[in-house]
Amino acid sequence: MFSTVLSVRDCDDYLVVTLLGEFDVVDAVAVTAALLAAADRQPRIVVDLAGLEFIDVSGMAALVRARKHARRAGGDLLLAAPRPRLLRLLSIPSLAYDFSVYASAEEAAVSGFRDSLGVAALPVAPRSLDQAS
């Protein structure tokens, strides 16, 4: 039984992958395969996490693997709209996830992919850790 719902939406020159529900070891293999296939199709990916209620280490590993795959293909994988608990997890320096995180999928596409136009991209956290509690 799947606890993660994944959908892919084509935009002009990037994909938005939306994850809903709980992303854990049960779905890690299937979601990883879907993310890698998406990166093969279009290596510029925004993962919308607004509807993701939970993620475990296998889910994070899937995102890391997909980001590496997208970068090898000349793109990137950016995260958008994580809930406060996930934002705290992404902010733990010792875990070194080092994702670019944005307040929304639209902001990630506009700000995060500017580097492909020769403009430096500066990731913006959706809220400070003090506000995330």
Q: How far apart are CA 12 and CA 65, in angstroms?
A: 24
Contacts of range 11-15, beta carbons closer than 8 Å, 24 or more positions apart = 11/109, 13/42, 13/44, 13/113, 14/42, 14/44, 14/45, 14/46, 14/75, 14/109, 14/113, 15/41, 15/42, 15/44, 15/45, 15/46
Q: Is pLDDT at 108 greater than 60 in this prediction?
A: yes
Q: Is pLDDT at 112 greater than 60 in this prediction?
A: yes
Taking only the tens place, the pLDDT of each residue in 6-15 is 999 999 899 9
What is the CATH classification number for the domain harbouring 117? 3.30.750.24
Domain range for 128 is 4-132
- Calculate mean pLDDT across residues 17-24: 96
Taking only the tens place, the pLDDT of each residue in 29-85 is 999 999 999 999 999 999 999 999 999 999 999 999 999 999 999 999 999 999 998
Q: How many separate domains does the chain show?
A: 1
Look at strands 15-23 and 4-10 and give their pairing: antiparallel
Residue 122 banded pLDDT, cuts 50, 70, 90: very low
Q: How far apart are CA 24 and CA 14, in angstroms?
A: 25
Q: How far apart are CA 104 and CA 18, in angstroms?
A: 11
pLDDT of residue 96: 73
